Structure formats: structure tokens, C-alpha cells
Chains A and B, each alone.
Chain A
Amino acid sequence: MKRNDFALGLLNYSAERDDSIGRPERWGSPPPLLISSTPLHDEMSALADEVWGGAPHLVWYFLIGGPGNGKSEAVGAFVRRLNSNAKQASLPLVFDSSKGHDGGTVSYWFQEKIPHGEIALLQDISIPKKIGSDPAEDVLASLSLCAESGAHLVACANRGMLLRATRLARAMPPYEWLLPILENIDKQSQETSIAANAHWKVGHDGREIEIRVWPLDHESILHSGGNGNPWAETDGSLFDQVIATAVAQERWEDAACDKCLAREFCPMIADAHWLRDPDRRRSFLRILRHAEVWSGQRIVLREALGLVSTVLVGTPSDFVENGKELHPCDWVEKRVSGTPVKPKNEQSLIELVSHRVYQDLFGRAAPTGLVLDRQHHRRDEWICEKLQTLNGIGKTVALALRTVDRDFAKQAGPLRLLGADGILHHFDPSVDNAWCSKHSLSTDGQVLDLRQLGAEHQTGLERELGDLFARLEDATRIIPPHKDPAKVFAAVYRWASTIFVRLAGTALGETPDAESLTDYLSLLLQPLRPLPATSGQTTLRDLMQSVAGSENRIELVPSFVASVGSLQLKPAGARGRSNDPRWPANDRLTLQVSTSPTDSSSVLLTATTFIDAWRKHIKRVAAWNISPAIDKLMQAWREDFTVKRGQFRNLESVEFLGNPPLEFEFISATEVQVRTK
């Protein structure tokens, strides 16, 4: 069999390897999955042209974001464009990755001449310039040096170090002039800031410096940037581009897989086919987008690359046998045999299925589809026990299940997403199959019926697994009644339905809470749009009004209420991408609350609050299903507003709701009237 080295190369994007870590060494030849067509890369190219052509003033560009957001890759795009301009002008390349100054494994500082002045790169302000030095002080010194030498600057900064530098600047008089700059960078990189304020000019020592800020953690890498709803659609997003590049035919069939005898049962080529299909890719990205919005934390580029690597191939730990890491193709080859080729045995089949896309997303912690480990209290151990009663095939399968579960590298891959408590765990389609009825899928029935779930998305592996389930079912039919065949049937169907429901859900992009999250994403674009509810339609405004309770009264303390006037709600959608100046979008849905046109205040509405509000007020789930903490959180926007506006002050009247009800009216600061109501 011929090996596909691209599959091996993909493993370098996993958390254990470093292809997803941007470094100056990569400026010339970035690894294949790093995409260059993003608004930030366009911005960096435009900046390179601007400084090359001679900007009227100094430009200091700050790329703000945490690790893995793509800051270093953006610097790479800038350098490549600058070097390309130099090449076109028949001049030597501007930047050479080997000519950096200070720092450790990654150089701290680059400063080179360009036709009109100088340009400096501060690769990562978090690393100390020299061993033992304070990175915050290094930043201040570097900025001062940059100002003295009159150089343009591109700096990569995370918020924490920026904050430390700001606090240090406050305490060190020589750097006081940097204080307003650093404070404004922090302010203008907050999620509430707008594109128009992202560029501003400052003067220092007779020089004019334009400060520009690009926050990398505002816009999702699943944001499509298209004309529909870019927050909900994922076509053309950065993540979509990464996947399209990774599953391109030339990297798989044309490279080696076309001639491989094992391709029918290879999970890697099957996953590449899966994600090459536009509908299935869309569903895949939809699930990730939902998980991202629900968790409130953006997926960063580094995680995305790790996830693509894990889904298409696996993690390096998956291919270690007897202390030696195998080529993924060799690993597959060891599990198939015969003519035509088939999985060697039941264990091989289960191992191969454990690397399918739907298992990678939702089953890293339970690779067989059954939860057998101690950490989860061996929830599905009873299934293995029942299969064992079948003897023969049953015993073999039970042993294979236990062996695979024991040997699988569960703590590998991007754990925040795929780990046992990862955010995708909540979205496993097999956990809640309520979505199946929408697609006329039945999850009840025998193996023959279950095999029909997602039949069009199945490969030889799933068909082979379906045959195994059928053999188990047949074996169950002939066991004597005292061995409790009903329980054994239940075990077989439970396992089979987990696998096939998960497969179908992944293919269709259907998960728990998918509908509510789709609604939430649609509100980011159109916050006033009507939402389909059980009884007709509703709007976000109406929903949140019902969360706040009827009337416009607020409870000061138990039994004492006061009128706070008519609360007006106006939902405001997310900030869109800006083209002039280029600036990223955000994911922020807010409610503007007011009692008068001049008296408004914005409060954030997170996806989890929206989902819980929907469950309580539209779906009307039982009260005990909503925790008191969540209940309070739902109303938090109302409290936010009343506190922000000081609504507990100078109220004209307060009502007592006891028996008899009383009304207290404030005539003056010292005069109060009381009357019965």
C-alpha cells in the first residue's frame, strides 16, 4: 500500500506538535493549512504597501489577542508582502527571519530599513527580551526606542501584558507619554468599541504617530463575511477555507489514496470525503459555530487547525503501538486484510470506526460509542455484560470494546472542544434525539431500521459495523429465555442507535438546542425579526419583556414594589465587519433598555441566557428544570438597568403588597404620606 504523507503531516497541527504555532521561520513558506485570505491578512498587505510607498506619518499597528488567534500569521502576511514589494523593486528582502534581536527561541525584535524610513516588528510582547527581564518593561523600552528611531511598528500583544505595561507606565515617569496610548489601545480593543475609533493620531517629539488596533478575538473564524447572515453561515469563513484546503482531492486521492487497497475501510479518506461534501461540511461547521456561541468563547485558529488534524487523521498518540509511532497509513493497513480488503476482526473494525468524524467530534472520551471508563462510572458497562451472555460473537465483541476503550488516547486533541467535559460534549446528537422527528427519522426499531439512519452518509466501515450489529441481533434471537434476551436486545440497540444517530446528526448538523441557537444567530443580524414559537410568533423584545415579568414595577425588597416607569427594550444586533477602515465583526447581542429616549443603557444577552429564557417562557419547561442561578441571570438585564440608572433613588411612591395593601408617597425628603390602596 502506498502511504499518504499529507496525513502524516496533518498530525503536526495537533496540540503536541508545532505547525500551528506561527514563527518567523515560517515567513517564507507557511505550512499548507495556514490560509492567507482573511480581512486581517488583506489589512496587513495594505499596511505593507502603505509603509513601502511612504506613509505621511508613522504607523504603529497593534494586533491584540490571546495565543493562537493568528497574530504571528498576520505578521507573516505583512512580511511576505513587504518582501514581495522589495523583490519587485529588485531590492534585497526587507526581513530575514534569522536577523532578529534578543528573545529566546523566537526572536523578540526586528528592525529594518525600507525606502521611506524604517519598520520594526515586535513579534510577541509576552516574551522577555533577555533572560530575567520584565516583559512589561521591555515593551515600554521598545516603544520608546521605536519612537526615537522614527520607525513604523507592527506589534503582537495580548491583553494581560498590555495591562501590565500600562500599569508600569503609570509608575515610571519616562514612559508617561505612552500611558494614554496604552490605555486607549485597551479601550479600543474592547468588544464594545467601534471601527471608527480604531485609528487615532498622537504626537511625540515632533513626530505624528497613527495608532491602529486590530482585536483578533472579536470575530469568529466561522464568520462567513458573506451577504446573507455572516454570523450564522459559514461558507467561505476562515475555518471553511482551512477544511477545503485540507480535504482537496490532490492531497488525498491524487497523492496516494486512489490506489490504496484499504480506501474502502480507511477512516481518514472517508472523513476527507465527508468534509469535501458542501452540505456535510456546512453541517460540521454549524455544529462548531453553535458550540462556540453557546460556550461564549471563540474558537481560535490554533484550535481549529488542531481540530481539523484530529478529525481527519487523529492525534499522534492514536498511532503509537509498542512505544513507536506508526504512519497513519500503516496503522490502517495493520487493521485490514484479505481480498477484497476488510477489517481484520471486530476490534479492528471498532478501532477504525472510532476515527470517523462523528466519533472524533463527540466520542473522543468514549471511542467505542459506549461509556466504559471509571471516570464516568462505567455508565454503559451493562451493555458489555449483556453482550457477553451471547457467548461466541458476543464475548469477542465485549472484549474488543473493553480493549479499545482501555487503549484509546482519550486525553489527546483539543480538549476544550473534544475532551470529556469539552464544549462539544453538550452537542452530541445522540444525547437528545428530539431532532430526529424533524427529519422523519425513527430511532426505535431493529438493527435493520437503525442502519437506515444516515444511510446515504455511510461508508464501508459503517456497513460492516451494521453487519456486526445484525450478527449480534441474530445471536440474541436464539438465546434461551432465562438469559433475558430482552435486555440483550436493548444492549445491542442502544449501542447501534448511539452510533447511527450520532452519524446522522453530524451529517445533518442537528444537535440539542440547535433551533434556539439558530434563532440566536439570526438575531445577531436581525435583532427585531419575528421568531417562530409554539403559539404563533414572538420577538426577542417580547421574550425579554416576559422574562422581566408583567408590569413595570420592581421589587425593592420582599412585598415592597415601586414603579420604574415603562421599560422600553430595543435589541441591538452584533457589530458587522467594517470595510473602511477594515475591522472585524463581533458576536455581541445587546438589549438597549430605556425609560425615555435620553435614558438608555445596554446590557449583554448571552446565548445561554437566551436559550434558558426560551425554555422557560416559550417551551414552558418545568420550573425545577431552570436553576435559581439561571433564573436570576435571565433577569439580570433588568437589574443591570435599574442599578445603572439608580432606579432605587428618588422614587415618588412605593407600594406594600401585604394585607392591607398600602401606598407610601414621598412628598419631600422628610415627608411621607401613607394611604390604603
Chain B
Amino acid sequence: MAFNVKNFADQVRPSPKRPSPEPFDNSVFDAGSPQYVRPEDLFLDIQARLFGLKPFRAKDLAGIEPSNFRARWLRDGAPNLQLQRIGHVNNDQLADAVMSLLRSPQRKNEFHPTLLPVVPTLSYYKNIKANLPNFLNDQFRPALSFADETEFAGRTSSLKDKLRNGTPGDTLKELTMSLLRPATSLGYSPLDPDPLPLHVGPLLKNYSVAPSRPLPVCDSFGEAIDALISIESLLPRVLWTRWLTATLRLWLPLFFLKRCTVTAAAAHAAKSSLANSSVVPLPALTDSLLAGRPVLRGSNEWLNQLAPIVQNYVRGRFELSILLELSNLYQRLLNQGLDPLNTAHAAKVRQELDVYEVDSRRANNPSLPPASGMFSSVKLAMPGDSGAGRLPLNDWLAWLVANQSSLDAVARILNTANTVDLIERVYGYIRPDYEPLKSGFGKNALEYVAFALGAPRKVDRDPEFPDEFNLIYRGEGGRRARRVLVQPGPQLLALLVQLVSSQSRRKFGTSAKLSDLLDVFDALGIDFRSNPEDFEGLKLQLLTLGLLQSSADAAEAASLNPRYSF
């Protein structure tokens, strides 16, 4: 046996020891591996991490299961209660009221706890699992950081202030705080006042222009957060938190999908460069990565729209990893003074590569070598991003083209025709496990976007977040579940119209028009403009909901009627 294509494929598969090559891990092309959690959990998790609240385990609570809210409240909450009791009101009676605030009565208590996320300290009661994806750091923080690094600190600080203090006088918040003040025995301490640090790592931006330009989806996310901050004092707390949750539920999965398309485009650019033995100029390369193409198409038809995006991401991610590993292998050979093109070195090269052979009889097969040379301590970055610790994509592609003959020689040692053939054949081994999206991070990613944008099954439906907040609608199961309608639900439309109107009023001092709403959809990567039927469908929906003032043919110039005129 010797190190071959199949071994290479085994080594490239993600493992706990080595999820992906170092230059790729946490780079701009690593969109993360989010998995679905219910919208309220997404929000509570972000909120809890934002304030440094830690999830509990049974051992932290002296044996009480974290999901047993009643026991927790009776032991830790009730003694701390600051209420004047008139007549005989005991803690058990109060517990029923508290449980109603903690849970939806329509769900089985232990499996489907819900919580009013009106005050951050309530997260103490929430059983946020420790192994949940880190939505704050993997999704929320990058999205806002990519939007605008300079405003990031101020924006997140304002949001934290609104979450922590809000505007005084909201009765429900006061009542909830009176009933659910956490006990000091839980280690309650003042919420973390430190500013949220900027996302660490390269930023996903357009560096072919100066100053660098953010992705539209990040830009609009920042604006949506600003709009929500500005209207917090005008809304009931419970409605505001629901809107904030719905905003996160919409923007973050679409941000993820956009990142998927960028990664897929980067992989395509890498293969094209090798196939053509040339790298396209920087602006064209950036354009191909960030092309303003929509991610989804608003449609009344059932179309297979979501899965291909995630499948392309899975493929792109592996292809970039394969190329990076190959580059690093070649770099390692160079470090050893070995030239794969030199026939005199052939035996030594083979010997060097055979170290990485995967032998099932061996207990510990060595992983592929750590990054070295130009790949050491750098992260793959956007074309033109020449910051410290960055490896701009265009530089790497230029290196690949410059060293193509040597890389091809390594590929031939692995019994493939050339580098491109190696990518295809290695991915051929990996593909059956990952591309059907039935297991691994691909499955999680698809579920994350599909469920977050539109919970498909009855058991996933949430009374606090009914279907009216969905962006997509899916079939109930099987093959049909892959096909989706992209039509925003009525509550989501009302929210978007409200946000757009608020932004228009704040930025321009004017009322908003349908074109403003369509611009937001464009930024989100949802196309309602190309197909007249989709556009008319959206318009009809807005008219039915009374959210649009229009005469026929007014098209995008029709005025929006926001639900609430503050």
C-alpha cells in the first residue's frame, strides 16, 4: 500500500482532530456549521452569550435538572421574590403563573420549554445546551462585523443596552422581573458590561475598492438592528423581542447562504485558474465571488432552491480544502528540499508522502502535516485583503498557477492525471457521504436554513413564532420537503415594511416605497424583481394586508403603509 487518492480523501474528511486545513478554518470561506435551534433559543443563546451568562448542568444546580423550571423556581426563585402578598398566596400558586411565563402551555413542559426573552437575566432559567452552535460568534458577530467594523462597537453596545435596560415602564417586563429575579445562589452577578469584541479573522468584504465595501446582506442586517434599536422605546417589550428574534431568524440564515455561495464561487475560481493557467484580475475575481446574484427567488411555485446552495457549499468547501492540503504537502516537500518534478527525488518524495497513508491496522494514523511556509499562521482571505495573518485568495491562486507543474507532479504520484483531476477524484470519494445532505455538517446546515426560514412540520411550529413569520414554506416530508415556496408570511412582511419605513424616515425623512422593500429583499439575496409573476404575487400579498397603497401599474413606486405609524 502507498499514499493514494483514497487515503488523501480519508485525510481530508473533517474529524474532531482536524476539522479542516488551518488556512481554511475560520477563514472567510468557512461559513461555519450551524445547526437548527428554535427561533427563541437562537435569540436566547445569542443574548446569553452577549452578556456572558453560562448554561447550567444538573451538577451546577445541585442535582436539579435545568429543564425542571418548577423545582428551580421553587428552590431558587421563590425565596428571592419581592412581592407583597395579600391574603394567602403561596409559592406553589405563584409557580403556576411563573411557569406560564416560562413556557407555552401548548407544549409538553419538559421537551418544549419556551421563555419570554424580555430580560436577559431570564436566560438563567433557560436550559441552553452547552454543545449548541455558537450563534453569537459564528453568525451574529461576523454579520455585524462584516457590515461595518468602525460602528460595530457602538451598535452592539446600544443593542446590549436596549436588551439589558430597555425603556422603563413596560408592565410585562416589570412583572417578569418581579417574578423571575434569579437567586444570588446561582452566582448572579451584574451583566457583563464589556464591549463585544470585533470578529477575529478576515472580513468578508469587497477589497477591490477602497474603502472596502460590505456584503449587502451584512449592510442591511446592520441597518435592521439600528432600526430595531431606534424603535425599542415605542413598542411593547414582548413585541420588540419577537421582532428582534424574527430579524435574527431571517438575516442570519440568509447571511449563511450568501457565505455558502461565496465559498462555492471561490472554489470555482480556483479550479478555473488551474484549468486556464491564469488568474483573473482582482476586480473581476472579487466580482465573481460577490456577484450580486440573488440566492433565492421569490416564487409561488414549489422549487428546489435551498439544497443546491448548501450542496455547492459542501463541494466548494471540500475542493478548497483538498487544494490547500495539496499546496501544503508540496510546501512541505519544498521545505525538505524535494522537488516532485525532479525524477532523482521521486523515491524520497514517495517515501515522504507514504507517511500519511491511512492504514486501518494502525492505531494512530498521522494526520496531514500542519501548515508551513506561506500557509503557516495565515487564514485564507478575500482577494485584495492583505492584512496581517491573511492569505488573499488572489495571491494563493497566483501561487497555484505558478507552481502548477509541481502540483501536477504530486497529483501524478497519487495516480491522478493532474491537480484538477485530483480534486475531482478525491471529492468523488467524499461526495456520497456529504452531498446528499443526509448526514454531517451539510445536513445540519440545510436544516438550519430550511427550518429557521420556515419551520416545516407541525412539531416544529412554535406558538410564539407562528408560520406568519416564515420566509419559506415547505412540504411536510420526504422529497417534497426539498421543494420550497419563497413567499414571506404576513407577519414577516409587516415587520419588514415597518423596518423599511423606519429606516427611510430616519435616513431620508421620507415615506418608504415598494422599491425600498424590494431593495431589502435584494440585499437579503431574494429576487422578487426578475419574474413579473413573483413581483405581482408579493404586491398582491402586500395589498391584501393593507401594507401597500397602490394603483395598478404603480409598480415599485407604490407607497408602503407601515402597520404602526409612530
Contacts and interface: CB of A to CB of B under 8 A. Distances in A.
A416 B536 contact: yes
A52 to B, nearest CB: 31
Interface size class on chain B is: 35 or more
Interface stretch (B371-379, B401-409, B548-556): B548-556
Interface centre among B100, B234, B467, B554 (most CB of A within 10 A): B554
Interface string A159-192: 1110100110010000000000001001100110
Contacts of A633: 490, 545-546
A217 B549 CA distance: 9
Nearest to A300: B552
Interface in B224-258: 234-239
Contacts of B171: 556, 562, 648-651, 654, 666
A298 interface: yes
B561 interface: yes
A669 interface: yes
Given A664-B175, A672-B178, A629 B490 contact: yes
Interface string B537-560: 001100111101111111111110
A298 B552 contact: yes
A575 to B, nearest CB: 13
A636 interface: yes
B84 A644 contact: no
Nearest to B118: A557
A297 interface: yes
A536 interface: no
A299 B552 CA distance: 6
A632 B172 contact: no
Interface stretch (A467-475, A477-485, A501-509, A602-610): A602-610
Interface stretch (A61-69, A379-387, A616-624): A61-69
Interface class of chain A by DSSP: mixed
Contact of A183 (B237, B467, B510, B552): B510
B105 interface: yes
A295 interface: yes
B87 interface: yes
A65 B553 CA distance: 10
B551 A644 contact: no
A166 B86 CA distance: 60
Interface string A591-633: 0000000000000101011000000000000000000110011
Interface stretch (B90-98, B149-157, B185-193, B206-214): B90-98
B511 A676 contact: no
A303 interface: yes
Contacts of A562: 171
B479 interface: no
Interface in A643-677: 643-644, 646-651, 654, 656, 658-660, 662, 664, 666-667, 669-676
Contacts of A532: none
B444 interface: no
A558 interface: yes
Given A159-B558, A628-B468, A297 B84 contact: no
A65 B551 contact: yes
A559 interface: yes
B273 interface: no
Contact of A632 (B84, B490, B558): B490
Contacts of B96: 656, 658-660
Given A666-B171, A669-B168, A558 B105 contact: yes
Contacts of A159: 513, 554, 557-559
B86 A609 contact: no
Interface string B378-402: 0000000000000000000000000
A495 interface: no
B543 A297 contact: yes
Contacts of B558: 66, 159
A167 B508 contact: yes
B89 interface: yes
B82 A670 contact: yes
B7 interface: no
A75 B234 CA distance: 44
Contacts, number: 205
A67 B85 contact: no
Contacts of A65: 551, 554
Interface string B317-334: 000000000000000000
A2 B116 CA distance: 78
Given A65-B551, A170-B508, A559-B100, A676 B239 contact: no
Contacts of B561: 604
Interface string A35-74: 0000000000000000000000000000001111100000
A425 interface: no
B138 to A, nearest CB: 30
B528 to A, nearest CB: 15
Given A559-B100, A644-B566, A676 B88 contact: yes
Contacts of A191: 549
Contact of B100 (A217, A302, A656, A670): A656
B508 A161 contact: no
A559 B490 contact: no
Contact of B97 (A604, A640, A643, A656): A656
Interface in B55-98: 82-89, 93-94, 96-97
Interface in A559-601: 559-560, 562
A231 B491 CA distance: 31
Contact of A166 (B508, B559, B563): B508
B305 interface: no
B510 A163 contact: yes
A665 to B, nearest CB: 9
Contact of B84 (A158, A160, A671): A671
A160 B97 contact: no
A159 B86 CA distance: 60
A216 B85 CA distance: 63
B513 A648 contact: no
Contacts of A604: 546, 561
Contact of A160 (B94, B548, B556): B556
Nearest to A562: B171
A282 to B, nearest CB: 22
Given A674-B86, A675-B89, A217 B172 contact: no
Nearest to B93: A660
9 contacts: A65-B551, A160-B514, A190-B549, A217-B551, A297-B543, A556-B238, A560-B175, A640-B564, A669-B168
Given A604-B561, A674-B85, 7 more contacts: A159-B557, A163-B557, A190-B511, A295-B540, A557-B100, A557-B172, A650-B171
Q: Give 6 nearest A-B pairs by CB, closest first.
A: A160-B557, A66-B554, A648-B236, A217-B551, A675-B86, A296-B543
Interface of B: 82-89, 93-94, 96-97, 100-101, 104-106, 116, 168-172, 174-175, 178, 234-239, 463, 466-468, 489-491, 508-511, 513-515, 536, 539-540, 543-546, 548-559, 561, 563-566
Interface of A: 65-69, 158-161, 163, 166-167, 170, 183, 186-187, 190-191, 216-217, 295-300, 302-303, 416, 556-560, 562, 604, 606, 608-609, 628-629, 632-633, 636, 640, 642-644, 646-651, 654, 656, 658-660, 662, 664, 666-667, 669-676
